[in-house]
Structures are given as structure tokens and as C-alpha cells.
Amino acid sequence: MPFSPLRMLLFFLALTLLVVVVQFGLITIAFDKLGLSADSAYLLLITTLVGSLLNLPLFSIKSDIEGTPRIPPMLARMMFIKLPPVTDRILVTINVGGAVVPLAFSFYLFVHSPLSLVQIALAVAVVSFVVYRISGPIPGIGIGMPTLIAPLAAVIIATLLDPLQRASLAYIGGTLGVLVGADLLRLGDVRKLGTPVVSIGGAGTFDGVYITGMLAVLLA
């Protein structure tokens, strides 16, 4: 059949709709395991997505400009990457959707479950260690990490600590573990990123927190 732009557009629209439906279905299943209704799950999702656009300033640290590797400008243009300006100060912010909301929801799960502080501390510590070991700074971009290792670590430790409450414990351990291991423990590395602003729970870490939380609950 001859190529039809309209047919191609309809195909991509249908594919996008399918992806959205599947994703929302998985989200509903995940949050149902955590005891949330569908309306509460969608409200949390919307709050997370909208909050991901908001970064609250916390403090600034001195940048380690000397010796900071950066992508050559010509290579950056070829890869359609916009390099941020180099500055001697780095503003540290916290992302609402990627840090504040997961922290608040983790506290909610803790209050409404029989989990103990010791279990949560152990789960967060294990996932934080794993995430710290597998993550690393990407100059000019942020902290990067593989996607599936953190949720798998969260599910394993949650199952070992409390099989009956493993969904809630996997979410708390997974999301907080990413925040601690990829952000808080990596604050010393952000001095060499060559970017004027870093966000706790933002940029690439937002994907890590969001995906880890969802996958950890689905796998639990």
C-alpha cells in the first residue's frame, strides 16, 4: 500500500493511547497493592507529574570547575545537547514530584502499616548502598543509574524483612533508597557536574524514583 501520512499519524496516536492505557492500568494495580483507591492513585500520579515541574531551592555549594570533564561543544551540537554554563556556585534544589511527594507518601504508608522503623531503616540502607554503587555522575547532565537494579533490590530486601507488607516496604525502601543513594550520598560528586543547578529527586533521578517505586510494588 502507498505511504499515507494520515495512516502513520493514526498509527502513532493509537500506539500512544495503548501505552497510556497500559501504564495507567499498571499504576492502578500498583497503588491497589498499597491500599489506594483508583481516584487516590490518579490524584497521587497527577500530583507527582505536576510537582516534577517544581524545584524548591535549598542551598548552594562551591563548584569544582577545574578538571571537570565536559562534552566538547561541537560534539554536543551534533548530539543536540545544550550545555549549561559553567559557574563557581551550584544551587541545590529539591524536586516536589520526585522527592517531596514520595517522602510524604512513604510517611503515609508507614503510618498506615504495621512496619517498624528498624525494617524501614534496613530496607532504605540496603537499597541506598546498591544505588550508590551502581550510580555515577554524568558531566553536564546529572546522576545516572541503571533502571531495574534498584526495584529488584527493594523487592528482595522487603520480601526478606516482611513478606506480608512487602509492597509498602518495597515502595518506601526503593524510593527513599534512590533519593539517598543517588542524590544525598552523591552531593559531593555534583561539584564536578559542570551545571549551575542540581535537583534532589529531579532530572534523571525523578525517573529512577518513579520507576523504582512502581516496579518495586508491581514485583512485590
Q: What is the pLDDT of residues 199-217, one digit of tens each?
A: 888 765 666 677 777 777 7
Closest alpha carbon to 157 in 181, 122, 182? 122
Question: For the chain, how are helix, strand and coil distributed in percent, rounded to 5?
Answer: 65, 10, 25
Residue 118 CA from chain centroid, whole number:
24
The pLDDT > 70 percentage for the chain reads 67
Q: How many domains does the chain have?
A: 1
C-alpha cell at 162: 516482611
pLDDT tens-digit series, residues 133-175: 988 777 656 677 777 888 889 989 998 999 888 888 999 999 9
Pairwise CA distance, residues 43 & 40, whole Å: 5
Which pLDDT value is given to residue 79? 46
On the question of pLDDT at 75 being above 60, the answer is no
Closest alpha carbon to 96 in 54, 68, 134? 54
The domain containing residue 179 runs over which residues? Answer: 5-219
CA 38 → CA 24, 29, 148, 168, distances in Å?
A: 10, 9, 26, 17
Burial 145-159 (b: 16+ CB within 10 A, else e): beeebbbbbbbbbbe
